[in-house]
Structure 1
Amino acid sequence: MEFPVRTGNPAKVESACIVIPVFKEEALLPTASRLDDASERLLAQLLERGDFDARLGNVQLIPFAPGLSSERLLLVGLGKREACQETAFRKALDAAFTALAGLPVDEAAVAFTEVPLADRDTAWKARMVAEAAQRALYRFDEFKSEKAPASRLASVTLLVNDSDDAAAAREGARIGDAVGRGINAARTLGNLPGNVCTPSYLAERAEALGEASGGALQVEVLDEEALEALGAHSLLSVGRGSEQPSRLIVMTYQGAEDADEAPHVLVGKGITFDTGGISLKPGEAMDEMKFDMCGAASVFGTVEAVLGIRPKVNLVAIVAAAENMPDGRATRPGDIIRTLKGLSVEVLNTDAEGRLVLCDALTYAERFTPASVVDIATLTGACIIALGHHATGLLANDDDLALDLLDAGEAAWDRAWHLPLWDEYQEQLDSNFADLANIGGRPAGTITAACFLARFADSFPWAHLDIAGTAWSSGKQKGASGRPVGLLTQYLLDREADAVVETEAE
């Protein structure tokens, strides 16, 4: 998709459709006002007569635009001005692009960068426009015999009032386009069924990304023989009951000017299907356990966004991929396994398997002497009870890293909430027979899961993102969300910005 930027008189813009945001019971915004003047008060009359209700997310198509060069106008309600914050802005964008995607148009122009939002600049609003466009055009229908007609929309012009803001709008749209494509890539991986998206499939996907990157992404895949030789017995124990072989996938991007600059490491949980193993899950909604690899999917999506943006940072992306199935070889409750770090773990519940693959991946990350490590996992149902489906759970052994991730989530509007990681919780993981148990009981389940991982992240700044409540939606709109690709990409962009500031200070 293309996102050109245009300044000047909007009445002279030749477009199949101009999208006009409108506040409820407020004066028209600048672009709408100029279009209203050129069309002999067409917009004002519609509002005065009550023919258009500017409640949040309401849309109305005006198929003819007399006096204007545009063929159509699409009015989009912003609701009350005092209530128009980031969430409302994004809802209006989603409504606009959902409507546009259903129109027989190849291109459109939008005037959303002029919507006033406290502390949000033109670049941010342009980025949200591009992300919304990509979200609206997303379809997952490759397994359907009859496919809905694809949208024709291929270009969205950003109308900007002030020519001084044009460069910021272009850069914001460039980043938003890449992030949106990364989000959609993560959604597709999450939505694929478990009989297609296996650990081997993820490995092949990584190799294809590397081949398409023109050398920007180096990929290494460790198979079960290599993992056995390495000593990654915890990861291997999870996939032992499956016919699908486990994999550790390592993707390396070197964008920093100093090739030796310490990389930032992302670690994704890639359980491509989770039956619970011997601790078998109940049948209800078990189909949704194909989403248990959404942490890995978000790592893939972030890598795709990074390849589109090309920030000057070094990145290592690690995916621990396995399928958790029950059979005669599967790990049993009560079994004791040895991790790559050397710690022994008593497996009290084989359905707490994500931490068993992540702990070996975190130990593997030590070899890169990382500047930071962030793991992403659909780890605990307890996180949904604590935070619902709006916020990602965040726990960390480094307060500065936690604050950086929280800031990135606010900037990307892909927010997280910081939970405690106090030493007192570690006692819940005590085992009579091993160094630690893999579960700590029902109380504070999200925190004790992170406490388990913290035992394997004691040599670097580390944070854990529990996306169990944010990675996918259930019900009629069932599907992967692509979160937290926006947060992770923004975190990396912020590290690039920090490096520039440090260089200038020197």
Structure 2
Amino acid sequence: MDFEIVSGDIPSLETECLVVAIEADGALSPAATAADQASNGYLSEILNGGDISGKTAQTLLLHKVPGLTAKRVLLLGVGKEDDRNNRNFRKIIKSAMGVVKSTGISSVTFALDARLTDDADLYRELRHLVEWSGNELYNYDETKSKKADPLKLEQIAIHVSENDSDLAETALLDGTAIVNGTSIARDLGNLPGNICTPTYLAEQALELDDEFDDLTTTIVDEEEMAELGMHCLLSVGNGSEQPSKLIVMEYKGGEEGDKPHVLVGKGITFDTGGISLKPGAGMDEMKYDMCGAASVFGAMTAICEMALPINVVGIVAAAENMPSGHATKPGDIVTTMSGQTVEILNTDAEGRLVLCDALTYAGKFEPASVVDIATLTGACIIALGHHATGILANNDELAAELIQAGEQAEDKGWQLPLWDEFQEQLDSNFADIANIGGRPAGTITAACFLSRFTKEYRWAHLDIAGVAWNSGGKEKGATGRCVPMLTQYLLNQAAEEE
């Protein structure tokens, strides 16, 4: 998709569809007013007829409006001023794109110069317009025999004043990078487990290496992991014929010697639960258990496209969790790369087992911060539903930075406590630590487990179990969260360092 910033008089804009805002009670935005004046009150006449009132996300498509070069005009309701926020803004964009996609037009120009949110940040508003319109064009057909019809829409233009064009160009470039990163995360999440294996993820990382000069990929295989002492990570893949992989992507956009920020993704490409077998109903959705890894791929792609002046390392711990005669059993004890021993009481609590060794490995980079991302616990869905990412950290300042980034990116997170009292639930009679702590505070005790391996650096854990995919129905599929939050966090870090 080609995104473009345009300026100039509204009546003379050449586009197949001009989108203008209609405020509550039929009030015209400045762009709509310009179109109305050029058409000798044609829009006013339509509004007086009562076909559209300006309610949030209401639409009315007009053809051949006199006095305008645009072939069509889409009147788009933006609601009352008090109702304008990012949630409703997203609804407005979704509604507009629904009309645009249904018409088969090749170009659309958004001239939404009304105040659309409760935020005065024009960069953020324009970037969200790019992100959310781009996300509405996402379509998965990789594994279908009949591919989707080619998209007729080729260009999305955003009309701004000439004074704002430089800021708008920045917002467009950043928004496009985030759209691309989110789409990659969704593609990886939506692929089935027989295609998206640990080896497949490794191949995708090597392709990113080829695509971007500042990115270098290293694949650590099972033999090398064994030499490093990563027996906890290796234990998860014992029952599978698919070899586990530790994927390391190093982006060097900053100064040599600058400490990198590290993203660590859980990459369980399919999770049966192992010997602690999951129920059969809905198990197909366990292909999404690598969405943490997918978000790392997405964020790394976005920052490479943005050419951020910062050093970042993306680490993916990839394995397939299967039952077999070789599979790890409940009660088995394994030694981690850190030297700590773990009693595996439940093989379905495998995400923390691959992450703990990856987090120890992350320490070799002497990181400025480490953020791990994982579809780790169903308990997080009970706690926060499907709206917010769970955030737990050994550093409250880092947690606050991620929460702020989530608010800026409209990809929200919420902090949960990580108190020492919860650590006692992980006590084991036979090893240094158990891999589960019982039903109470399941999300927190999972993070407590990970915290045992992150004491040397600033660390935060993002539990995306509730936000990484939509279950059932037409909306079923990967969401690409939390690529926007991670990318915004790295944008903020780059701005601070610069």
User: TM-score band (shorter)?
Assistant: over 0.9
Show the counterpart of 2:479.
481
Q: CA contact under 8 A between 1:302 and 1:485: conserved in structure 2?
A: yes
Q: Secondary structure at the match of 1:4?
A: strand
Letter in 2 for 1:67: G
2:356 is matched with which residue?
359
Partner amino acid, structure 1, of 2:249: M
SS class of match (1:410): helix
Aligned to 1:399: 396
Q: Residue 350 of structure 1 corresponds to which residue in structure 2?
A: 347
Q: Secondary structure at the match of 2:243?
A: coil
Counting only pairs closer than 5 Å after superposition, residues 28-427 of structure 1 correspond to structure 2 as 28-112=28-112, 114-160=114-160, 162-213=161-212, 215-256=213-254, 258-427=255-424
Q: CA deviation at 1:301?
A: 0.5
- The letter of the residue matching 2:17 is C
Structure 2: which amino acid aligns with 1:58?
Q
Within 1, Cα distance between the matches of 2:63 and 2:233? 58
Deviation at 1:254, TM superposition (A): 0.5
Instruction: Summarize deviations over 1:98-154 as a string: whole Å, max 9, x none.
Output: 322232222111023543433332211111111122211111012222233132222
Mean alpha-carbon deviation: is it higher for 468-477 or for 23-32?
A: 23-32
Give distance in 2, aligned partners of 1:390 and 1:475. Answer: 17
Contact 2:130 2:176 (C-alpha < 8 Å) held by counterparts: yes
Letter in 2 for 1:266: L
Pair 394,448 (structure 1): closer, same or farther in 2 beyond 3 Å: same
Q: In 2, distance between residues paired with 1:59 and 1:328? A: 59
> 1 CA distance for matches of 2:374 and 2:25?
44
SS in structure 1 of the partner of residue 25 of structure 2:
coil
The secondary structure found in structure 2 opposite 1:109 is strand
Greater mean alpha carbon deviation, residues 65-74 or residues 363-372? 65-74
**SS of residue in 2 equivalent to 1:54:** coil
Query: What is the CA–CA distance in structure 1 between the aligned matches of 2:291 and 2:75, rounded to whole Å?
Result: 36
**Aligned residues of 1:113 and 1:122 also touching (Cα < 8 A):** no
Query: What is the Cα deviation at residue 81 of structure 1?
Result: 2.2
Structure 2 residue identity aligned to 1:224: E
Range 104-113 or range 390-399, more displaced = 104-113
TM-score (norm 2): 0.98
Q: Give the direction of change, closer, same or farther, for the CA distance of 1:77–1:85 in structure 2 (3 Å limit).
A: same
> For 1:44 and 1:392, how far apart are their aligned partners in 2?
45
| Cross-structure match for 1:503 | none
> Residue 446 of structure 1 aligns with which residue?
443
Which letter maps to 2:327?
A
Deviations 1:334-368 (A, max 9, x none): 11110011100000100000000000000000000
Distance 2:350 2:87 in 1: 35
**Unaligned 5+ runs, structure 2:** none
Runs of 4+ with deviation above 6 angstroms: none
CA gap 1:115/1:3 in 2 versus in 1, 3 angstroms: farther
Given that residues 89 and 116 in structure 2 are in contact (C-alpha distance below 8 angstroms), is that contact kept between their aligned partners in structure 1?
A: no
Q: Which amino acid aligns with 2:452?
A: R
Cα distance, 1:55 vs structure 2: 2.6
The alpha-carbon deviation at position 53 of structure 1 amounts to 4.1
One-letter identity of the residue aligned with 1:170: E
Deviations along 1:46-78, whole A, 9 cap, x unmatched? Answer: 222211243322322112221101000112222
CA distance in 2, matches of 1:341, 1:301: 29
Does residue 497 in structure 1 map to residue 491 in structure 2?
no
SS of 2:3's partner is coil
Deviation at 1:90, TM superposition (A): 1.2
Conserved in 2, the CA contact under 8 Å of 1:57 and 1:76?
yes
Equivalent position amino acid for 1:56 in 2: T
Is 41-50 or 190-199 further displaced after alignment?
Answer: 41-50
Q: TM-score, normalised by structure 1?
A: 0.96
Q: Return the alpha-carbon distance in structure 2 between the equivalents of residues 255 and 409 of structure 1.
A: 23
Q: CA deviation at 1:408?
A: 0.4
Q: CA deviation at 1:26?
A: 5.1
Paired amino acid for 1:183: T
Q: Distance in 1 between matches of 2:114 and 2:364?
A: 48
The residue type equivalent to 1:176 in the other structure is G
Task: Tell which deviates more after alignment, 231-240 or 104-113.
Answer: 104-113
Q: Tell me the matched-pair count.
A: 497
**Mean CA deviation greater in 133-142 or 332-341:** 133-142
CA contact (8 A) 2:31 2:112 kept: no
Taking the aligned partners of 1:402 and 1:262, their CA distance within structure 2 comes to 19
What is the rounded CA distance, in whole Å, between the counterparts of 2:115 and 2:341 in structure 1? 56
**CA distance in 2: counterparts of 1:125 and 1:312, whole angstroms:** 24
Is the Cα contact below 8 Å between 2:56 and 2:92 reproduced in 1?
Answer: yes
Q: Secondary structure at the match of 2:449?
A: helix
Equivalent-residue separation in structure 2 for 1:145 and 1:322 (angstroms): 28
Is 2:21–2:114's contact at 8 Å kept on the other side of the alignment?
Answer: no
Give the direction of change, closer, same or farther, for the CA distance of 1:113–1:446 in structure 2 (3 Å limit). farther
* Aligned AA (2:194): N
Q: Is the 8 A contact 1:123 1:170 kept in 2?
A: no
Q: What is the DSSP-based 3-state SS (H/G/I as helix, E as strand, rest coil) of the residue aligned with 1:475?
A: coil
